[in-house]
Amino acid sequence: MSFLPFGRLFWKFLVFFFLAQVTAVLGIGLAIWIWTADRDFGPSPTEPPPFAAPRPERPGEPPPELRRFPPPPRARIPVAHLLTGALVSLVFAGLLAAYVARPIRRLRHALQMAANGQLTPGAGAAMGNRRDELADLGRDFDRMAQHLAQLMQSQRRLLHDVSHELRSPLARLNAIIGLMRQQPGRLDDCLSRLEHESSRMDRLLSELLTLSRLESRMQERANEAVDLAELLADVVEDAVPEAELAGCRIELAVGRDVIVAGDPEMLHRVFDNLLRNALAYAHAGGWIGITASSSAEAVTIRVEDRGPGVSGFDLERLFVPFFRSAPTPDAKGYGLGLAIARQVVENHGGRIDAANRPEGGLCMTVTLPRGNA
């Protein structure tokens, strides 16, 4: 049936609707014909019509019982009416079948293009001005295709960035090995450097694995009641030595009832990344503020600093893997901390935003729903 121009579904709908309507037309037509035929037969030939006044006999006329009455007209099957009804049923069945089958064929064409790697949204626009489930299906397909295109693009960019980031430590490892061969007396120094570079590569691969698991939703998330007051206090306490070395003061202000449902370990990692990112760039301002407030539906946490801030163009790229805005000479990260933080927050049903403070510096805002633990 693939050679048919309108597709198999069209012809199935057409035959089904046509047979249903023809059956209805035939049944109604025959019922009307039978009812009309019973009305047209009239009285028998040997009996006068009921309730008729007796007609006087004429001279030489035979008695009533021997008279011959003309036969009643014979009822005919309304062939023309039935054919007209069948033709009208065929037209409307074809229109209805086309109305249902056309968007499905367009969606099938979009799926074939997506299978060939052409993830270009357009199925929803091809549905025209329809306002039904098929139009909703086309728009949902467009959103799915757009999301898949973004994932594929991010995967390609991630592979490119990973290869670029791994090239530098591998080059340093090869240089250290060459130095060991040329200067065997510096064995201890070279071994310590090898250990340092291997630990950096291990940390990089660990962060890449975490980011990949979070993006693919393979990371199992606990659903516990997390008191952000305690969690933020632990994060600040862990960062106090680093803050003292940087000459920064950390102020923590937490409201009441800041409890969310989620994974305490992953949420700890989110705010630890945000705080250490602020410490890396806020040493000039000497101040970092962390505030947490709650509402009926969500908890909002802000991490602010008085550093140099970020340009407007870079604000949109802060959460892109391996992106670092104006990296400092002593920066130790790979630009994956904020990307991991965003993915964790989104997996918890929240959102994270970055904005420059009017007084100077950067403000990271995390909004988490309360949920049910």
43 part of a folded domain: yes
Residue closest to 111 by CA, chosen among 151, 131, 140: 140
Do residues 184 and 309 both lie within one domain? no
**134 lies in a domain?**
no
Whole-number percent of the chain with pLDDT over 90: 14
Percent of the chain with pLDDT over 70: 71
Beta bridge partners of 354: 364
Give CA separation, 163 vs 123, 159, 178, 339, in Å. 36, 6, 22, 18
Has residue 142 been placed in a domain? no
Say if residue 357 is in the same domain as residue 296: yes
The answer to whether residues 312 and 206 belong to one domain is: no
**Tokens for 289?**
């503020």
How far is 43 from 34, CA to CA, in rounded Å?
17
Q: Which of 227, 219, 234, 323 has its CA nearest to residue 277? A: 323
Q: HSE, CB side, 13 Å, CA atoms: give it for residue 43.
A: 10
Q: For residue range 318-364, list pLDDT tens digits in order.
A: 887 777 665 554 555 567 888 888 989 998 889 999 999 888 888 99
Residue 195 lies in a domain: yes
Q: Are residues 204 and 166 in the same domain?
A: yes
Mean pLDDT of the region 72-96: 68
Instruction: Using the 3D structure, point to which of 215, 238, 264 is the last residue of a domain.
Output: 215
Please check whether residues 26 and 89 belong to one and the same domain.
Answer: yes
Question: Which amino acid is present at 358?
Answer: P
Paired tokens of 312: 């407007």
Last residue of a domain, one of 192, 215, 238: 215
Residue 295 lies in a domain: yes
Q: pLDDT: is 11 or 141 the higher one?
A: 141
Which alpha helices (DSSP H) does the chain contain, by range?
8-40, 79-115, 123-126, 133-182, 187-215, 228-246, 264-281, 312-315, 337-347
Query: Is residue 90 predicted with pLDDT exceeding 80?
Result: no
Give the least confident one: 102-116, 118-132, 356-370: 118-132
For residues 354 and 232, state if they share a domain: yes
Task: Answer with the one of 101, 118, 135 that is the final residue of a domain.
Answer: 118
Are 351 and 238 in the same domain? yes
Per-residue pLDDT tens digits for 272-329: 999 988 888 776 668 899 999 988 889 999 999 888 888 777 787 888 777 766 555 4
Number of domains in the chain: 3
228 with 348, same domain?
yes
Same domain as 114, residue 29: yes
Task: Flag whether 85 is in a domain.
Answer: yes
Q: Is residue 157 part of a domain?
A: yes
Same domain, 197 and 291: no
With a CB cutoff of 8 Å and minimum separation 6, the contacts of 322 are: 158, 161, 164, 165, 334, 335, 336
Same-domain status, 203 and 308: no
Q: What distances in angstroms separate CA 165 from CA 19, 172, 340, one per listed residue?
A: 68, 12, 17
287 in Cβ contact with 248 (< 8 Å): yes
pLDDT digits (tens, 9 = 90+) for 170-225: 888 888 888 888 888 888 888 888 888 888 788 778 777 777 777 776 666 667 88
Which range of residues forms the domain containing residue 211? 152-215
pTM above 0.85, yes or no: no
Is residue 189 located within the same domain as residue 172?
Answer: yes
Place of tokens 């009921």: 50
CATH number at residue 308: 3.30.565.10
- 128 in a structural domain: no
